[in-house]
Amino acid sequence: MDSKEHFPAKSRRVHPVATYATVAFVAFLLGFVPMWLSARSRANERDAAQQALRLAEIENALAAATIDAPRGDYEPARQAASTFYTNLRAELDRGDSGFPVAQRDALQALLVERDQMITFLARSDPAVAERLTNLYVSYRQTAGTPQRKPAPSNDGR
């Protein structure tokens, strides 16, 4: 038996098809890789913006409570204070929290007053305004202002 009889001759079309497939795959990668890198960069920017938004919402809720209480608007102040404590607890529990570890420990101490503060607001106790002001000052001193990256300039520099 001759070995040439068992194996058919290679088609001359197989080699060009493989070449075209390889070229098409390389062209696909040349388009895909830059878009993937761009999408990944935008996702990181989105995550940073969402983190900054969460931190701003926490501070804004406390500021709203601090403003509403002295005006006698105790129910909106109570709701805002409750939102502050809830969002602060959620942020501290996050693995990718916007607060460094040292700040987290200090902010945990602010959560101790939650029930007492909410109770004073529910009872419309006028003394709560001073406590909210002190809480706001403590929060600002502990948390500081979030570090923001400078926005890229539009002139291409």
Q: What does R_g of the chain's alpha carbons equal in angstroms?
A: 30
> Is 132 a residue whose pLDDT tops 90?
yes
Neighbours of 42 (CB within 10 A): 10
pLDDT band at residue 157 under the 50/70/90 scheme: very low
Instruction: Work out whether the CA dihedral 110, 116, 119, 125 comes out positive or negative.
Output: negative
Six-digit token string for 76: 């909106």
Residue ranges and CATH numbers for the domains of the chain are 50-143 (1.20.120)
Which amino acid makes up residue 61? A
Mean pLDDT in the chain?
A: 83
pLDDT of residue 148: 47
Query: pLDDT tens digits, residue range 14-23?
Result: 677 888 888 8
Output the DSSP codes for 16-83. HHHHHHHHHHHHHHHHHHHHHHHHHHHHHHHHHHHHHHHHHHHHHHHHHHHHHTTTT-HHHHHHHHHH
- In this predicted model, what pLDDT tens digit does every residue of 97-119 receive, in sequence order? 788 888 888 888 888 899 999 99
pLDDT digits (tens, 9 = 90+) for 51-78: 889 999 999 999 999 999 999 899 999 9
Q: Lowest-pLDDT range, 65-69, 77-81, 149-153?
A: 149-153
What is the residue type of 131? Answer: R
Instruction: Report pLDDT for 6.
Output: 60
**In this predicted model, which residue has the larger pLDDT, 151 or 50?**
50
